[in-house]
Amino acid sequence: MKTIKDVIYLTISQNGVQIMRKNYSGCKKGEIVVKMNIEVEEKAFTPPTIEKFVVVNDWNEGVDIEDVQFNEQYITEEEAQIVRAKRLEKMQTILENQGYTVSKKEE
């Protein structure tokens, strides 16, 4: 049997789902994006309406990613890039340890 596979991106704020897209387009402050991989078997295309519950937990609850002590009021762009890279690497490790798959943004 044929399986239909697709990906959707839900942009969610505290007011609920704001946007559903087929491509990732980023998000604004106060929003998160949830990538959903959908697989539907061909034989599932019959009534009744299918209902699934998706729960998104706070992936960083109890996780401390503070890795820099700022002693000066300003940092250089080079220092900012290093901090960003270290934080992204640490966040990726944390998410993968929790069973998530981390992928680069498709351009």
Owner of token pair 């690497």: 89
Model's pTM, two decimal places? 0.56
- The pair phi, psi for residue 12, each rounded to 5°, is -125, 135
Q: What is the pLDDT of residues 42-80, one digit of tens each?
A: 888 888 888 888 888 776 666 565 656 666 666 778 877
Average pLDDT, the chain: 83
- The pair phi, psi for residue 26, each rounded to 5°, is 85, -175
- 84: alpha, beta or left, given left = phi > 0 and alpha = psi -120 to 50? alpha
Q: In terms of pLDDT, which residue wins out, 60 or 94? A: 94
